[in-house]
Each structure stands twice: as C-alpha cells, then as structure tokens.
Amino acid sequence: MFENLTERLNQAFEQLRRRGKLNERDVKEAMREVRLALLEADVNYKVVKDFVARVSERAIGHQVSRGLNPGQEVIKIVHEELIETLGEPVPLNLRGEKPRLIMLAGLQGSGKTTAAGKLAHMLRSQGERVLLVAADPYRPAAVQQLETLGDRLNVEVFSDPGIAPPRLVQRAYERAKRGGFSLAILDTAGRSQLDDAMMNELAAITKKVDCNEVLLVVDAMIGQEAVNIAEGFNQSVPLTGLILSKMDGDARGGAAISIRSVTGIPIKFLGTGEGLDALEVYDPERLSSRILGMGDVIGLIEKAESAMDVEDAEEQAKRMLSGEFTLEDFRDQLSQVRKMGPIGQILNMLPGGMGQMAQQIDPHEADDQLKKTEAIINSMTVRERQKPTILNASRRRRIAQGSGTRVQDVNQLIKQYRQMRNMMKRIKKSGLGDLSGMFG
C-alpha cells in the first residue's frame, strides 16, 4: 500500500544524504517534497501540516547527533514524528469475567466478516476458546460466509436468523457462558452507508450486553473517507478501536496515517491479505519503518517463527551445511517460505538496500516460480528426490510431463540444487560450517 509514498519519501531523503552539511533552505526543500508525498498519499491536510511543522522545527533547530550525518538525522526525526502521528499502540482489552465480548461494526464491503474470522484465528492461537456470532441477518449469505470460516477454523458459529440481532446477541452470550467459551466475536450487520437504523441496532446490542471491545472495520483503500466513517460511527456507538482492512491493496494508504490523529480512536489491527492468518497487531514503530523503506525485520522474524518448525529448521540447516541435504529438504524449505505469505509481502519487509533491490522482482512471478519448483520435485519418486544423480534424460522428461513444465525447467532446478550443495560443502571446508551456538 505504501509503495508510492515510500518511493517519494526516499527521493526527498536522497537529496539530503548527498549533502555533508544542511542549511535551513535544504530542510525546507526536503519538507516541501515530504508534504507533497503525504498529500498525494491522501493523508489529511491538517495532519500533514502539523507533521511537517514538527519535523521542520526539530531539523532546523539542529537536533543533530554526532553519530549521524545531517541527512540521516532528518530521516531519524521524520521516523520519530511519524511514530508520534500514528499514535500509541493499545492492546486488546480482554480483562474481566468470561466470556468477554468483541463486537465488530462497519459498512458493507469493509471486510468485517473476514476480519471476524482472522481475529478468531489469532485469539484461538493465543489459547482463547472462541465463539463466532452471526448477527447479520440482512446481507444475503452473510451467515453462510461466517459458518464457512468457522468450519475452516474449527470454531463454533452461533446463528438464529429468525430473531432480531440484539436478542440474538443476548442468546449468544448465554450460549458462550454455558459452553465454557472465553470469548465471543459478534459479526454485526453493515449497510451501504451510515443510517439511523444501523446505528440504533448497534446501540441496542450494546444495551443488551457489555462489550469489552467495539471495533470498527474500515476499508483502508477508501482514503480520507475512512476518517469520516470512523467519526460517524463513534458519535452513535463509542468505539474502542479500529481494524484497517485491505492494507495490502493498491491504494494510497493515507487513512492509516490520518485516522488516529483526527479521530483519537486507536488502531488495533491491520488486515494485510486474504488468508485467515493475514492480521497484524498494530505497531506504529514497525509501520513507520515500512513507510520509510526501512523494512520490518521483527515482523519478518515473527512470520518465520509462526510458519516454521524450529526442530525441523535446525535439522535442515545441519544437513544443508554438511552438504547432505536432498531435494526433499529443498522442497520442505520452499513450502515453509510459502507459509510465510505472498513473496511480495515478505520482500517489502526487507530493510534498506535489500528492500529496494527486492522491489525490482515481480512478486507474482516469484510466487509462480516457487509453485513450479514444488510441482517438479513432487513429480519425482522418493528415490529420485533423495538421489538426484539417477535423473537421466527419460526420467527428466517424465517429471516435466507430470509437473506440467518443460525439461529445461527440470534441468534448471537440478543445476540450482547442485550449485547450492557445492557451495555448502565449500563453506564446511572453510571452517564456517560450525553450528555451535547457532540455535538457542
């Protein structure tokens, strides 16, 4: 989402990096570019004005660290002020007697039902026993969509289309209490626009049950309109937080920067993809780093930890450095990389120059290549995967036909595998293959 903004900001900072000494004119020129970049990203005008004023005051005020050159110092100030603008992270409120209730609200098409599934997936992985509540009897197939998500997650879904949502939610609370659920997530009805009936229904639900959280799901792709929607909901039903959905979409992304400053409502989660695991806890520092092209190494590590088995990774690393790893090991590694999410998201989390180089790679092409490689290896017999030296011409033709690829693709994979294996053997011979202390 922030690709264009990141590129514009880095162009402005590049001019500063080239200068060994900055004067007031240099700072003002850079801030003019920063202002334009933020406005083009659809950041609220008042937010941009205040942000640029704070950065300019600090930069011109010579708050320069001896360890940094002036250009780096200005980038550091922008980073810190962007974190300030994005607001403090506020954790989910799960205190109090069980079952706790989280109500999701939002307009139609904001991704509310999907967000309910993602949130259920995240909280269940943290040890919560979750009940999903289908409190939207109006949208066609809304209940079925939630039930489908419940089946995928193995999470119970409570529904009763024959009664009004306020009464249904009250019954769902009683069911959660009797069933030993620690948490219930309420997927309420959306409308195509803000209206009194919608707001009255949400208010009636909050009178029937006490909610720990009332979270508004907002489509981040609609820009500044997201701010108006949040303010409209907050006037009728006091919101405790926001979920910005579709943060992976092709949009300018200004809502993420503006919405906390304008509304005062904390952002709690970011929806970053279509998968049920594509929900991130909001972290202003990490988001600021990604906006400025600094990557998100912590987020990358967390993705790796959630996708990979530590013991398997250790064993594979040992075999790899010993030069004994097979094509089965290679396939398993590719499978773990794919579990981390789309290649485009992973590349965008790389810092600095690596991230900039990664932007030159077509993420769709990279994803397709991973799938093709797995298909080729899966078309081999167990013996062929464990002993690739037996792969003669006829075997390679059979593998290509079975995987829907070309013989050249099979040859290229075998070549890459051999190169990697030879490189690992050289590393071992050089004495750099000692694994002691590598795994904690």
pLDDT tens digits for range 116-140: 999 999 999 999 999 999 998 888 7
* pLDDT recorded at residue 294: 60
The band of 397, judged by pLDDT with boundaries at 50, 70 and 90, is: very high
Query: If you average pLDDT over residues 276-281, what whole number do you get?
Result: 87
Cα distance between residue 60 and residue 361, in whole Å: 38
Cα distance between residue 213 and residue 104, in whole Å: 8
Query: 369 phi and psi, to 5 degrees?
Result: -65, -40
Q: pTM higher than 0.85, yes or no?
A: no
Query: 238 phi and psi, to 5 degrees?
Result: -55, 115
Tens digits of per-residue pLDDT, 168-214? 999 999 999 999 999 999 999 887 777 788 888 888 998 888 899 99
Query: If you average pLDDT over residues 211-226, what whole number do you get?
Result: 86
Cα distance between residue 165 and residue 113, in whole Å: 15
Domains present along the chain, CATH in parentheses: 3-86 (1.20.120.140), 100-293 (3.40.50.300), 301-429 (1.10.260.30)
For the four alpha carbons of 287, 288, 290 and 296, in that order, the dihedral sign comes to negative
pLDDT value at 432 more than 70: no
